[in-house]
Structure 1
């Protein structure tokens, strides 16, 4: 169905609201920092002269810009109380295990495993977006559990919900590897039936995990939903500033360059794109699809799907279930072929 003028106005208004909230939060944080910084610059100017004061000012502005990127990107306190209260799967009558696991650097992160009763069920690792906590995604997890038959491992990044630490790109990557380590130690988890799912910011975490040789060999498929090509590209879109595309990479604290990684990912990949996404342009999902090196990839456009509610739209779970069946059947065929080959080799050797 074509979008109406009202849809575009609503979409534009939503974008303005998002940007306004981000700018206000950043301004409040900077006000606390800048008063002390300006006092320091004035004192240096008074005692040491203008050149040194100017140099310090340039360094301070760069530091503010560099560290402000975290404030713009990570929102663990939205909605309010997200760091204090995390709902558990029991509220939707799902079985679960709540684990607190040390990441590689010692940071303790919170993970919730929702296990199927059926043995040998496929497992999906759920990497969520840049706001809230895993409790805000329980209804989505319920759908993946009930409609698709997955064990669901929900990963709460450092600095989010009940996890320790502060958000960072490198830290999130370590957390994703911690999630894989957790699954690989579980004897009941079939190591050939692990699927990685990433929505929005979680897409950047997921694509990085797929490019790590040790872990990627255990991952049979990747699912990306409403994610971006890179932080640099999406920043230029949200703030309507094209020059951000040309900012040197050393000035970017967070990159999440999924577009550069897709050419190295060959696992079957499903791209789910909400066509009414008012935050990340659907064309970015198209770009990721085009740059994917996978020989088994699917692109599923979801009519009416917004950035955060695509999972509520008709056809969503059907697309994931159909894709996963294809992948798992392929995995089963490969395993059967390997078993037959091994049996033949053994027979020839015995003869």
Structure 2
């Protein structure tokens, strides 16, 4: 999420053309693409991943073998083709994470993190780029985000033949918005909400207590419909999405596991704390089995 000045917020909410315009101005900052996909000549369904210097790749070329990239063979419900990245570091992985990344990054920048995370927690990962990000077509919007994650979810069901209870939804920052929306409509193995926000207006105006017709990303109203176990992760010193958002989301979820409140962590460094990986491993190894 990006910060706006008081003047910009006044212009945005006092004279808004529509809620979707608010969402676009408030949330979406697609970066200059850090990768490209080249279709193989002998197979139109397979692609080669080409990373630029901006992707910040931190692993060896051998580890690229863990990554499969492709474009959804069917468009989303809003007629956009989205790019996907499937990371498989172990053939025995039981669960797969459907990862909705944060703002201002794309799959190229997330690739290194995906490989490292998959290796450390022994779990496959399917990442995707929102419409207008990376190699995905279309433009960023709230409605497109919901269509994008639906398409990625269908990839796991059809292409990889996964059952819903073997899918873990993971949303980070703005990525918690489509994650919560999907989880409120589908049963999955578990849901991880990393630095979630209650809603757009509540983020801009912290004193807001109720949802109004101009609000966007109204996750706080959807979490009560989530039937799967939910792990909420938030840094107590988050300077972008205040810690109070994580607390409120946690309190609204009807079926939660013990949250991870990372003392002293901000918005972009929770993963650097040792308890982060430990908590994810516990969810996958014990709490997923128990659920």
In which range does the TM-score fall when normalised by the shorter chain? 0.7 to 0.9
Determine which of 270, 276, 289 is the counterpart of 1:316.
276
User: In the alignment, is residue 98 of structure 1 matched against residue 69 of structure 2?
Assistant: yes
Matched, 1:223 2:192: yes
Q: 2:174 aligns with which of 196, 201, 224?
A: 201
For the 8 Å contact 1:220–1:327, the answer to whether it is kept is no
Cα distance in 1 for partners of 2:56, 2:286 equals 28
Counterpart residue number, 2:47: none
Q: Does 1:329 align with 2:280?
A: no
8 Å CA contact 1:277–1:305 kept in 2: the answer is yes
Is residue 109 of structure 1 aligned with residue 82 of structure 2?
A: yes
Q: Which runs of 4+ in 1 moved over 3 A?
A: 17-20, 82-91, 187-191, 244-248
Deviation at 1:227, TM superposition (A): 1.1
1:82 aligned residue (6, 25, 33): 33
Cα distance in 2, alignment partners of residues 140 and 318 from structure 1: 16
CA distance in 1: counterparts of 2:146 and 2:168, whole angstroms = 17
Residue 232 of structure 1 corresponds to 201
Paired position in structure 2 for 1:279: 240
1:65 offset after TM fit, Å?
A: 8.4
1:130 Cα offset (Å): 2.2
Whose relative contact order is higher, 1 or 2, with alpha carbons under 8 Å and at least 6 apart? 2
Q: Distance in 1 between matches of 2:257 and 2:20?
A: 36
- Per the TM alignment, residue 106 of structure 1 is displaced from its structure 2 partner at its CA by 2.1
Q: Is the 8 A contact 1:197 1:224 kept in 2?
A: yes
> What is the aligned length?
268
Over alpha carbons, which structure has the higher Rg?
1
Structure 2 residue matching 1:126: 3-state secondary structure: strand
Alignment counterpart, residue 288 of structure 1, candidates 214, 228, 249? 249
Offset at residue 105 of structure 1 (A): 2.5
Paired residues of 2:57 and 2:111 also in contact (CA < 8 A): no
Paired residue secondary structure (1:75): coil
Could you tell me which residue of structure 2 aligns to residue 11 of structure 1? none
Q: Is the 8 A contact 1:113 1:152 kept in 2?
A: yes
Q: Within 5 A, what are the aligned runs for 1:16-55?
A: 18-19=3-4
- Give 1:23 shift: 5.0
Give the 3 Å change call, closer, same or farther, for CA 18–62 of structure 1 in structure 2. Answer: closer
Unmatched 5+ residue regions in structure 2?
A: 37-49
SS in 2 for 1:19: coil
Preserved contact between residue 176 and residue 196 of structure 2 (Cα < 8 Å):
yes
CA positional deviation for 1:191: 4.2
User: Would you tell me which structure has more helix in proportion to its own residues?
Assistant: 1
1:112-153 deviation digits (Å, cap 9, x = unpaired): 000133235210011011222122223432332011111110
How far apart, CA to CA, are the structure 1 residues paired with 2:56 and 2:127?
Answer: 10
More deviation, 193-202/133-142: 133-142
Q: Is this contact kept in 1: 2:184–2:227, CA < 8 A?
A: no
93, 108, 132: which one aligns with 2:105 = 132
Cα drift, residue 292 of structure 1: 0.8
User: Superposed, which structure 2 residues align to 1:142-181 within 5 Å?
Assistant: 142-181=115-154
> What is the rounded CA distance, in whole Å, between the counterparts of 2:218 and 2:181 in structure 1?
8
Q: Compared with structure 1, are the counterparts of its residues 123 and 89 closer, same or farther at alpha carbon in structure 2 (3 Å cutoff)? A: farther
1:273-317 Cα distance to aligned partner (Å, 9 max, x none): 1112111111111111111100x4221111232101211222111
What's the counterpart of residue 303 of structure 1?
Answer: 263
Task: State how far apart, in whole Å, the 1-side matches of 2:35 and 2:114 are.
Answer: 21
Pair 1:120–1:140, CA change in 2 (3 A): closer
